[in-house]
Amino acid sequence: MNVYRKLPLSPSSEVSEDASTLGDDGLNFDNGHKVSGTAAAGNKRKTFTTLARHAVLLFCILCTFINVAIVAFVSPNSSLSAASTTLDRTDLISAFRSEDISKLRRPSQFIRFDEIQRPSPPIPRQFDNHPILIAQVDRDRPDHVFGEVTRQYMASPGTITPEDRRVLVTPSISTIVQFRAIDYGMGTCELRLTIPPSLMHGENPGLLDSSQARPLSVYRLNSTRPLSSRALSARTKPDRIAQVAEVLLQREEGTAGLVWHRKFMCEENEILTFELACGTAALGDTCTVEWWQDRQTPNPGKINNS
């Protein structure tokens, strides 16, 4: 070990024999105690680590108190409060989708279509547009929700739900029908009600079970957003704007069926909402009408875009 002795303050000064010496491994003080430099650095690191742990612990405790305060001061009437809702995570996502997604801006999928040269005069074209919603409401049960009535059935692969939807009109029940005007440049819409000859001639008495005339009123409803069949009732349905028409359904032998239609202007992506109800001239049970709307053979109700 190398030992270093203190230098004298002056040439005449003597160096004490018991002077402290500085070795490679630390300091030797006059009292004989030796302190290692490595141990001192370790003590400093240990002190810093302890302080850091205490700081992290205090931060976690502070965050816990903040979270408890937030939960304690949240209004119990909040729809997201754990005490006031029975929705699980899946139901909450479904509720958000049905209530809020329809409110989002619907971007146009026809990008730069306005730059395409179109023939003049335009070539007349049309296509059938199926309803996006068919559901019933009951005036006598204003809070009852029917939902979408389907013809689902069990098969070997599982439950099959065809796209058929029921249209039902009785003295107290009416049917809400919604369409969305789609495609580019189709500014004229036509609401069409078609009764095929088979239903008018008595071959299928499901729609008109007697020869008595059945008045059916068509109303336009004040709704510009898609409705949810899971929340639609007589109390929550949109208000009527005006009566579009009153159609008289009557079974007659030898006729070619009934075709009623009405044209009106419509905009791209516009929501069109109608209500089918008993006519104003209906007496008693003379307006009861029921049929199933099929996408494969969309009779009797559909809307055309042109």
- Extents of the domains making up the chain: 1-8+17-81, 128-305
Going by pLDDT thresholds of 50, 70 and 90, the confidence category of residue 151 is confident
Chain segment 30-57, per-residue pLDDT in tens: 444 444 555 556 666 677 788 888 888 8
CA dihedral over 42, 43, 49, 52, signed as positive or negative:
negative
Q: Are 21 and 5 in contact (CB under 8 A)?
A: yes
Least confident of 109-113, 133-137, 215-219: 109-113
| DSSP letter assigned to residue 145 | -
Chain segment 69-104, per-residue pLDDT in tens: 887 775 454 444 444 445 455 555 555 555 667 777
Q: Are 218 and 276 in contact (CB under 8 A)?
A: yes
Cα separation, 142 vs 144, whole angstroms: 6
CATH of span 128-305: 2.60.120
pLDDT attached to residue 218: 93
Residue 135 vs residue 76, higher pLDDT: 135
Cα separation, 98 vs 92, whole angstroms: 10
Cα separation, 116 vs 122, whole angstroms: 13
Mean pLDDT over 153-164 rounds to 84
Q: Which of 141, 181, 153, 149 is nearest to 167 (CA)?
A: 149
Task: Look at residue 27 and tell me whether its pLDDT is greater than 60.
Answer: no
Cα separation, 255 vs 106, whole angstroms: 45
Mean pLDDT over 184-201 rounds to 75
pLDDT attached to residue 35: 47
Q: Return the CA Rg of the chain.
A: 41
Task: Look at residue 141 and tell me whether its pLDDT is greater than 90.
Answer: yes
Write out the two tokens for 229: 């069949």
Mean pLDDT over 230-243 rounds to 93
pLDDT attached to residue 303: 47
pLDDT attached to residue 90: 55
Q: What is the mean pLDDT of the chain?
A: 74
Going by pLDDT thresholds of 50, 70 and 90, the confidence category of residue 251 is low
CA angle 172, 134, 252 (to 5 degrees): 65
CA dihedral over 155, 161, 164, 169, signed as positive or negative:
positive
